[in-house]
Amino acid sequence: MTDTVATLGDLQRSGRARLAAAGVESAALDATLLLCAATGERREAVMAYPERMVAPDAAGAYRALIDRRAAREPVSRILGKREFWGLDFALAATVLDPRPDTETLVRAALDWLESRPAARIADLGTGSGCILLALLHERPEDSGLGIDRSDEVLAVARANAASLGLSARAAFTMGDWSAGLPDASMDLIVSNPPYIPRGDIAGLAPEVAAYDPAAALDGGADGLDAYRRLCADLSRVVAPGGAAFLEIGAGQADEVAALLERGGARAVQRFPDLSGRIRCLGAFFAGTGKKDQF
């Protein structure tokens, strides 16, 4: 790319070529998204008016964004936001970039919540707050608590709650999984804990290994450390007849289901993502007898 006056089409093509050479799979889309961010143009305009001239300062800003993406920083981190469940979430270096796959857990939890008014929900390892806030957005009567282990992470979640107009029903607090929750205090627990086996992290795509925080990825030697902690305490914090939905990593369904059963779940259900992979487990806890349903 040069410093001379360029068109949208020139910049899109040169950016795409640079990203493809850097090994970025979605080079064309990413170049277009970054061009839109730098110029304020819409995606349709990049396609429909490639001859449109771009001011030199906007072209310079675009080249800087392409440099970052060529270093394998994800577009969402460059732009500082990610769409999840149709809602905009701000990101920071300390929080996991929410993944579309996690919407499997949100869908499963919403189905379970359908017949349960005014539920109390805890999101353990809340990160950006995306799971809890997506649920509260869909469920105006519910309230929730997001727990994470760092104040920097919680500040991002609180800001997301505020920008989505959900602060009145979403509280965030520092904690170590469910340890600080009173007995039988939650109707629903949701969690997407760190589940990558530590030795696998360095081999992940650079977008993940270099840019997602280690605290959001590292599940210990076998990836199951967080589940051991979580599953052992669920039957204490979940109210009678309540449930928990946990995201899981590839191949972890049997082991995590066994941990849930050992932790007192009376039934465990598996939820596949759109590619058919088991992505989430639902655990259902005994009720008082009269209303013991799942």
Ligand X SMILES: C[S@@+](CC[C@H](N)C(=O)[O-])C[C@H]1O[C@@H](n2cnc3c(N)ncnc32)[C@H](O)[C@@H]1O
Shortest separation between residue 177's beta carbon and ligand X, angstroms: 5
Shortest separation between residue 232's beta carbon and ligand X, angstroms: 13
- The vertex-105 CA angle with 100 and 110, nearest 5°, equals 115
Should residue 257 be labelled a site residue for ligand X when binding is judged by CB under 6 A? no
Using CB under 6 A, which of 74, 98, 249, 282 touches ligand X? 98
Shortest separation between residue 266's beta carbon and ligand X, angstroms: 26
Stretch that binds ligand X, among 24-32, 58-66, 126-134, 269-277 (CB under 6 A): 126-134
Stretch that binds ligand X, among 45-53, 67-75, 165-173, 174-182 (CB under 6 A): 174-182
Should residue 148 be labelled a site residue for ligand X when binding is judged by CB under 6 A? yes
Should residue 216 be labelled a site residue for ligand X when binding is judged by CB under 6 A? yes
The DSSP bridge pattern shows strands 238-247 and 278-284 to be antiparallel
- How far apart (Å, rounded) are the C-alpha atoms in residues 101 and 222? 21
Distances (CA, A) of 146 to 84, 192, 232, 259: 17, 12, 19, 23
Report how far apart the first and last C-alpha atoms of the chain are (Å, whole number).
59
Please name every residue paired with 90 in a beta bridge, in sequence order, or none if there are none. 81
Q: In sequence order, what are the residues at sequence separation of 6 or more whose Cβ sits closer than 8 angstroms to the Cβ of residue 202?
A: 209
Size of the chain in residues: 294
Should residue 223 be labelled a site residue for ligand X when binding is judged by CB under 6 A? no
Should residue 208 be labelled a site residue for ligand X when binding is judged by CB under 6 A? no
- How far apart (Å, rounded) are the C-alpha atoms in residues 107 and 110? 5
Stretch that binds ligand X, among 20-28, 142-150, 248-256, 282-290 (CB under 6 A): 142-150
User: Looking up tokens 């209303």, which residue turns up?
Assistant: 291
Query: Residues 10-49: x/- map of binding to ligand X (CB under 6 A)?
Result: ----------------------------------------
Cβ–Cβ under 8 Å, residues 147 and 156: no
The footprint of ligand X (CB under 6 A) covers 96, 98, 102, 124-128, 130-131, 147-149, 153, 175-177, 192-194, 215-216
